[in-house]
Structure 1
Amino acid sequence: MSAGVIAFVLLLAVAAYACAGGTDYGAGFWDLTAGGAERGKRPRWLIDHAMAPVWEVNNVWLVFVLVILWTGFPVAFQTLFTAMWLPLALAALGMVLRGAGFALRKPTRRLARRRIYGAVFALASLLTPFFLGTAVGGIASGRVTPGTDASADAWSNPTSLLFGLLTVAATAFLGAVFLTADAVRFDVPDLASYFRRRALGGLVVVAVLAAVTLAVTHGDAPHVWRGLTHGAGLALALVSAVFLIATGLLLLRGRARWARLGAVGVVAAAVVAWGVAQRPYLIPPSLTVADAAGDPATLTWLAWVSLVALLLIGPAVALLYWLDTHGELEPLTDADLQRGRPAPEDTTDDD
């Protein structure tokens, strides 16, 4: 089995996690910026309902990424987790804290504890994509090579920091677009306008950061810059830009449901463009896909496992997403939004 095929499967899995997990991280970003308890009550209640059915299943894509990288490209796995263990460890810690905060804040009856869990969830939703983005930037900038020791320079350079900021902006954009569609589906026009404005603002920030990041890669990550400005990498980058413009027009025309597809297209095309721009390297410019690949027999079995997963798990996940985006899993009433919580609660601050 060709190592290039498995590398492409890995890239698609990364794109899937960027879109699915990124939407959840973006919802957490807007939870963080929603304001105080009274002002942010209704946006946060919509965020809870929008995330609840799917936030756990989105991590399936991350597990798939780690399995493919670990078994299919063990040299790359060792190199990345040795050189950038700190940002990756912080991202992993953020995932754990984020999940715990989201799961515990909803059933908690005491206001003080709910605020703590909510703050943990929101802050982790900001920091986790940032550190994942810095790790990607470290790969793109060529500062990681086999045998590289852990160093702050591997993930705190200009390319890494801009990739981190761009990742946060992209997740915020995705989250706002999906929340706009959720507000429309729940027939809450004021929240639809609330998140539409934030989606359009996120779109502008993504466009600006993408342009700045591309300019910085010219000198700081020349191999990736050349890949993004020539051939297939350039074509995919242009596709991402077209999706970005289309998403903005759909939002302005009130077509929030179609805008979700556009937002996913923006992120998916951008991730694939980055992967294609790195060819033939898995870690440019020192470790090619062929050199990083494991045993051919392992790659063959990994291909079969990926195919089985696609046939068995793929339809189930697709059905779950369809049910969620069509409001078949957890209905939300206007009365819910007005009171903010479905049942009376104890709001005392003492234990």
Structure 2
Amino acid sequence: MIADVIAVVLLLAIAAYSCAGGTDYGAGFWDLTAGGAKRGRRPRWLIDHAMAPVWEVNNVWLIFVLVIMWTGFPVMFQTVFAAMWLPLTLAAVGVLLRGAGFALRKPSRRLAGRRLYGAVFAVSSLLTPFFLGAAAGGVASGRIAPGTPAADDAWSNPTSLLFGLLAVAATAFLGGVFLAADARRFRADDLDGYFRRRALGALAAVAVLAVITLFVTHDDAPHVWHGLTHGVGLVFVVLAAVATLATAGLLLRTPGSWSRVTAVAVVASSVIAWGMAQRPYLIPTSLTVTEGAGASSTLHWLGIVTLVAVLLVFPAVALLYWLDTQGELEPLTDADLRRPGAGDQG
């Protein structure tokens, strides 16, 4: 029972990272496609201002996922990282390079340096979600099992490639929706329309890729296909479809903040549908939740740590997100620093 609870927590953490981290990756995608220095100046200005307050905290979810995997399900952790070390290593390198590129781009004084760091940030924002999605597709396809050696087929099969493309499209969609909302917050009406159109295009790509993936998994990942078309998995597929239609309608109509809620619902429902479709397996069809779970005492302590995180860490992260979306985390300007009393110590 406790193993099932921890497995659900792991799935929810993956969904949280897909939504929070995915939004940041999506911002990097639009940075990459913004065009040259002149044409892309304003979109990149918005991307820098929108990401600055929260881009580092989103990796909290990734750390939480890794901690749950290696402590709660060590056999799964060993199997996945041994069989697909290459895409996961590339994804980890992408996370590091992406953070370095974003952090160093703005303070760089030379144009060549800004371009270099900006390119590192943007390209890493494209490749990292692709490799993470490809690894998830390798798990879903059931091509790995305990003891499986590393092989290209584990992550370069049709299901993996489609999962990777879906991850890129989903992050671009989330990034477009949130950047459009940030454009309204900064009263940049031209960028609102700019990112809403791109969010709609990315949403269409997500819908098309999702349908193709469903057909491909019929033969390439039959267990997951059955789970997506029956039971709880189907319920979340339907929820994702409804949220997709709602988001499209909101993006086409009067601007509003609800599009962010429905966009998160699209991605979260899709991730949860995939997790529910794999039941009762961690890795179809070779490792069940019960077989892959760690010691009972470890799982109980992990449950306590998770409860502490729910009570202490998650509210703080939620507050940070709320403050950011309300525009309360704007950086100080020169005018702020010159106000009387700004330098007083008490």
Say yes or no: TM over 0.5.
yes
> Match of 2:313?
313
Q: What letter is aligned with 2:319?
A: L
Q: What letter is aligned with 2:136?
A: V
Q: What letter is aligned with 1:93?
A: V
Q: Residue 329 of structure 1 aligns to a residue in which SS?
A: coil
> Match of 2:250?
250
Shift of 1:332: 10
Shift of 1:149: 0.3
Any residues of structure 2 matched to 1:4-43 within 5 Å, and which? 4-43=4-43
> Match of 2:292?
292
Deviations 1:76-135 (A, max 9, x none): 000000000000000000000000000000111100001000000000000000000000
> Match of 1:101?
101
Deviations 1:27-75 (A, max 9, x none): 0000000000011001001000000000000000000000000000000
Shift of 1:228: 0.2
Whole-angstrom CA distance in 1 between matches of 2:306 and 2:214: 33
Q: Residue 282 of structure 2 aligns to a residue in which SS?
A: strand
Shift of 1:238: 0.4
Normalising to structure 1: TM-score of the pair? 0.94
Matched, 1:233 2:233: yes
Whole-angstrom CA distance in 2 between matches of 1:130 and 1:259: 24
Matched, 1:47 2:47: yes
Q: What letter is aligned with 1:44?
A: R
Q: What letter is aligned with 1:84?
A: M
Q: Residue 156 of structure 1 aligns to a residue in which SS?
A: coil
Q: What letter is aligned with 1:221?
A: A
Any residues of structure 2 matched to 1:187-266 within 5 Å, and which? 187-266=187-266
Q: Residue 66 of structure 1 aligns to a residue in which SS?
A: helix
Alignment identity in percent?
Answer: 74
Structure 1: gaps spanning 5 or more residues: 334-351
Shift of 1:330: 1.1
Normalising to structure 2: TM-score of the pair? 0.95
Q: What letter is aligned with 2:53?
A: P
1:177–1:256 CA contact under 8 A, matched in 2:
no
Structure 2: gaps spanning 5 or more residues: 334-346
Deviations 1:292-335 (A, max 9, x none): 000000000000000001100011000000000111101699xx
1:169–1:205 CA contact under 8 A, matched in 2:
yes
> Match of 2:336?
none
Whole-angstrom CA distance in 2 between matches of 1:62 and 1:256: 29
Q: What letter is aligned with 2:215?
A: A
> Match of 2:2?
2
1:244–1:266 CA contact under 8 A, matched in 2:
yes
> Match of 1:80?
80
Ranges of 4+ aligned residues in structure 1 off by more than 2 Å: none
1:49–1:332 CA contact under 8 A, matched in 2:
no
1:25–1:129 CA contact under 8 A, matched in 2:
yes
> Match of 1:176?
176
**Higher RCO structure (Cα 8 Å, ≥6 apart):** 1
Q: Residue 282 of structure 1 aligns to a residue in which SS?
A: strand
> Match of 1:267?
267
- The number of equivalent residue pairs is 333
Q: Residue 56 of structure 1 aligns to a residue in which SS?
A: coil
| Comparing 170-179 and 248-257, the one that deviates more | 248-257
Whole-angstrom CA distance in 2 between matches of 1:255 and 1:217: 36
